[in-house]
Amino acid sequence: MDLYKRIKEELEQAKKNKVYNNIKILESKQSDMIKVDSKNFINMCSNNYLGYASDPLVIKAVKKSIKKYGVGPGAVRTISGSFDIHDEFEKRLAQFKGFEATLVVQSGFQANTGLIPTITTVDDLIISDQLNHASIIDGVRLSKAQRTVFKHLDMEDLEAVLKENRPNIKGNIFIITDGVFSMDGDIAPLDKINVLAKKYKAYTIVDDAHGEGVIGPQGRGSVAYFGLEGQIDIETGTMSKAFGLVGGFISGKKELIEYLKQNSRVFKFSSSLPQQFAEAGLAVLNQLEKDDSRLKKLWENTKYLQNKFIENGFSIGTTQTPITPLMVGDEATATELTKILFKNNILVSPIIYPTVPKGKARIRLMLSSLHTKQELDKVFDIISTEYRKIIKKQK
């Protein structure tokens, strides 16, 4: 079939099925409030957990960096070189995360796709949590290794997979998991995964995109949350969430990072993280170490809103973090509720198939330290009234 005919049909079908994503145009900075269509909305769909995305501290760091280093990185680092700020930030980030060394790349997606195929071979096996992020799935797809999944958070299943496969695998086994799962907000049991990894001689890789800045002392992330510094082999992460920036990283042993610099296609063939983001990342890191008041506020807001939902009989799934999935079931309800909330100046994103399985649609509310109690009260009041109206209409 003609390409454009097929594409058009698919787009029309998505609109008919009410799963077409209308991307909103933002007219102000990322904060607790945000302007869309010249109107101000309570912003419940940003990963700006600690409010750094538009913080004066970050803006100052970016300005300072642009003055010194300009804007563009020139080329890939193997050709044009690394800026000293890249090196400084990588060293500091490694310390913060409890690893020997770190490599920064352009995004969290690039971290997973730059790591997984580079360190795995045909003789290896990758064992992945069933609900791992798309960037891990794509990293695995790019790898030549054998692959399998274990049931989400299910340690019995993970052990069964390890037991069955260990005798047949000539190479290495890698267990890969999100630290915090982005759609459900639940935390991977890294303590138990670590025990199984040691028992079956497997390596562990944790993607801590939603853990860093959010859990663990000073927001050091999932590994620190379990007190497993030095135990987990490799971590990938992003600066697009609690750091309020953009950029990704891979942390591990010194020789691993050296190997990635020589061999990772993402590092060798794609221009580096812009230097101003390394500078801004360093500013955020300094602040995280100095002052945990934003982290405390984030958790205070999280408990406040989540308790309201729970006390009033709503399901927010199995979340253990500020990711708050209001489970509504079918795709059409999620889409309708999103539209009604939009009319009430509340910005949320419906999470629907294929991002989550059919029938598990949800409105994902993302908490930030910037939200006020009044804003959260309004969000809860409108959701509870409007959601109940939809349910009544459906009956």
| Catalytic residue numbers, as ranges | 182, 210, 241
- CA distances to 51, 104, 194 from 325, rounded to whole Å, are 20, 30, 28
Report in angstroms how near the CB of residue 138 gets to ligand PMP at its nearest: 10
Pick from 32, 129, 207, 233 the residue near ligand PMP by CB under 6 A: 207
Closer residue to ligand PMP in complex, CB, 178/386 = 178
Q: Is 277 in the site for ligand PMP (CB under 6 A)?
A: no
Q: Is 248 in the site for ligand PMP (CB under 6 A)?
A: yes
Q: Is 128 in the site for ligand PMP (CB under 6 A)?
A: no
Q: Are 229 and 223 in contact (CB under 8 A)?
A: yes
Short-list 373, 389, 283, 301, CA closest to 62: 283
Name residue 102's beta-bridge partners.
251
Q: Are 244 and 62 in contact (CB under 8 A)?
A: no
Report in angstroms how near the CB of residue 352 gets to ligand PMP at its nearest: 16
The per-residue b/e assignment along 346-356, b for 16 or more CB within 10 angstroms, e otherwise, is bbbbbbbeebb
Report in angstroms how near the CB of residue 178 gets to ligand PMP at its nearest: 5
Q: Is 135 in the site for ligand PMP (CB under 6 A)?
A: yes
Q: Which residue's CB atom is positioned nearest to ligand PMP?
A: 108
Closer residue to ligand PMP in complex, CB, 236/301 = 236
Near ligand PMP in 90-119, by CB under 6 A = 107-109
Q: Which span (17-25, 202-210, 302-310, 318-326) binds ligand PMP, by CB under 6 A?
A: 202-210
Beta strands in 140-298 (DSSP E): 146-150, 173-178, 202-207, 234-238, 248-252
Closer residue to ligand PMP in complex, CB, 249/380 = 249
Report in angstroms how near the CB of residue 38 gets to ligand PMP at its nearest: 28
Q: Is 133 in the site for ligand PMP (CB under 6 A)?
A: yes
Tokens of 253: 């042993």
Q: Is 209 in the site for ligand PMP (CB under 6 A)?
A: yes
Report in angstroms how near the CB of residue 116 gets to ligand PMP at its nearest: 12
Q: Are strands 349-351 and 346-347 parallel, antiparallel or unpaired?
A: unpaired
CB atoms within 10 A of CB 118: 21
Cis peptide before 189 (omega within 30 of 0): no
Report in angstroms how near the CB of residue 340 gets to ligand PMP at its nearest: 26
The per-residue b/e assignment along 381-394, b for 16 or more CB within 10 angstroms, e otherwise, is ebbbebbeeeeeee
Near ligand PMP in 228-247, by CB under 6 A = 238, 240
Phi, psi of 205 (to 5 degrees): -125, 125
Write the CB contacts of 115 (distance below 8 Å, at least 6 apart in sequence): 139, 205, 234, 236, 250, 260, 264
Q: Is 222 in the site for ligand PMP (CB under 6 A)?
A: no
Tokens of 373: 């109690």
Closer residue to ligand PMP in complex, CB, 96/249 = 249
Q: Is 182 in the site for ligand PMP (CB under 6 A)?
A: yes
Pick from 97, 210, 220, 371 the residue near ligand PMP by CB under 6 A: 210
Q: Is 177 in the site for ligand PMP (CB under 6 A)?
A: no
Name residue 176's beta-bridge partners.
128, 205
Closer residue to ligand PMP in complex, CB, 52/200 = 52
Place of tokens 């944790």: 206
Closer residue to ligand PMP in complex, CB, 210/294 = 210
Report in angstroms how near the CB of residue 34 gets to ligand PMP at its nearest: 18
Which residues lie near ligand PMP (CB under 6 A)? Answer: 107-109, 133, 135, 178, 182, 207, 209-210, 238, 240, 248
